Chains A and B, each alone.
Chain A
């Protein structure tokens, strides 16, 4: 081997080594905790101390956020549009209610069982969304949602029909923490579940599985050509999302001691989509930002114009979509650099 050749070999080797160490850094930085994530959780805890009279709306936000984050896993990652995500939310709500009414009043047990049952429904219905376009998926998921609502309505002996389920009160959480009148325990409970749920989904997002979901969304044909088994992945993620949606439903039941047929109403599926449109998709925290904004604006509008607040929600939706969904999905990137960097290049 000549000296020149040797030298080129050495250069090639060292450039490969440089590339490797840079790649390792880039990959690690990708999943690093962002500044806005820390702010979100600090704000959520601060709200507990600063807004003691607002526990109910804070609880509502935490529940909607968990519901929306679970939808983001399906919509923002795998690219599956759903108008029936409330089927899982509602099922979870009813399961938690029935469990508290007939068997176990302890909430964490109810939460887990509700998540499991909703997950089973998610698994079974996931096979219906494997085929077809966005439109067929919208219609299929809408149909499943409507069917669930009608089943709950008709099985009055079990679900209380149009009157809903009541007459139960949740026990102490893990036998230790009683729910209080002001909803303080309820908020902390929901916040902890939201935090754990978001952390689990965040972990999924940065795994090879999570990356493969985004590949399926971005280009299904190419995803197939790098051996991503798209159908299997969609079944798995749809099931996981259903588990967390069911848990969100269970939280609603447990913090309100009531299950109304409204938990399966179409508007909930639409609301949660709107939440993601507001907050942005594909990075999980959009569900949280959207839930905060949506709940506050809804609350504010319903105070100032109790009759017509839906009009303004509708107007907001039109404006948001006109501004452009793509830009919306990236609004975090429009914040100052160090607050926002979602993806890292440099």
Chain B
């Protein structure tokens, strides 16, 4: 299989003298459920930031469906189908979940620049936003200000918001962090239900989730790709156990 949808070539990112991303060349196949694991400080979030344009790389390139997107602004990457969730919620505090999701859908539909028609006039967008919120169990709080929602609900909104853009490549940065234990699998099952051609790159610390969700795993250590393989290969790899699983075991 060589249908590579997301690729980095020799990606490097320095913060002063510190090399947070060290020569990462990663390939993610279309439709993959790809997990990115590694000890704390391995540079997982930095890598996601480089992929989504939140940070510019110091060296190297990022390709989306074969096209060089290294210098594209975030919003253009989203338009091309690459979006993400944040490890720490990045929401609009004074917005309601309904407004938040409706805006994301409006931007996806290319009507975000319309300054004359009221958002309430876009029936289809409002309906879609409501249905999406209902799917994530947020229907009952869709009219509340986001900042007053419980953390778990905010977490769900964070993920729902990424779904609203209908990504073809979705990067999830520890989506289950802060989600109550009993809702975690629910969150991941919504992600698993995505169409097969949607590619998911997942950062996660909960190994149960990773092993049940992913079909391919890359291990990042000290900013560099340490190893990569199927779930079975990674689970059996003694070196991975040593650098990573060993910590928890």
Contact = CB atoms under 8 A, between A and B. Distances in A.
Contacts of A15: 134, 139
Contact of A27 (B79, B91, B102, B162): B102
A209 interface: yes
A30 B131 contact: no
A23 interface: yes
Interface string B81-108: 0011010001111111011101110111
Contacts of A236: 113, 115
A208 B112 contact: yes
A204 to B, nearest CB: 5
Contact of B145 (A222, A229, A240, A343): A343
A26 B98 CA distance: 9
B19 to A, nearest CB: 23
Contacts of B118: 31, 203, 206-207
B1 interface: no
A345 B145 contact: yes
B177 interface: no
A312 B20 CA distance: 54
B144 interface: yes
Interface in A19-73: 19-20, 22-24, 26-28, 30-31
A163 to B, nearest CB: 41
A20 B130 contact: yes
B107 A22 contact: no
Interface string B40-68: 00000000000011100000000000000
A211 B119 contact: yes
A26 B90 CA distance: 23
A112 interface: no
A221 interface: yes
B133 interface: yes
Interface in B104-128: 104, 106-108, 111-120, 122-123, 126-127
Interface in B184-205: none
B83 to A, nearest CB: 6
Contacts of B83: 225-226
B165 A227 contact: yes
Nearest to A342: B94
B94 A214 contact: yes
A276 to B, nearest CB: 17
A178 to B, nearest CB: 34
Which of A203, A227, A232, A345 has the most chain B CB atoms inside 10 A of its CB?
A227
A210 interface: yes
A230 interface: yes
A345 B144 contact: yes
B80 to A, nearest CB: 10
Given A30-B120, A345-B143, A19 B134 contact: yes
A19 B115 contact: no
A236 B116 CA distance: 13
B73 interface: yes
Nearest to B90: A222
B116 A22 contact: no
B74 interface: yes
Given A211-B103, A225-B78, A23 B115 contact: no
A216 B122 CA distance: 21
Nearest to B140: A19
Q: 9 closest Cβ contacts across the A-B interface?
A: A23-B130, A224-B74, A209-B115, A226-B104, A227-B78, A222-B90, A19-B139, A27-B120, A218-B92
A212 B103 contact: yes
Given A16-B134, A24-B127, A232-B113, A206 B120 contact: yes
B112 A228 contact: yes
A225 B52 contact: yes
A221 to B, nearest CB: 6
16 contacts: A16-B131, A23-B133, A207-B114, A208-B107, A208-B112, A208-B122, A209-B114, A211-B102, A211-B119, A219-B92, A222-B92, A225-B52, A225-B86, A226-B164, A227-B75, A233-B113
Contacts of A24: 120, 123, 126-127, 130
A215 B90 CA distance: 11
A338 interface: no
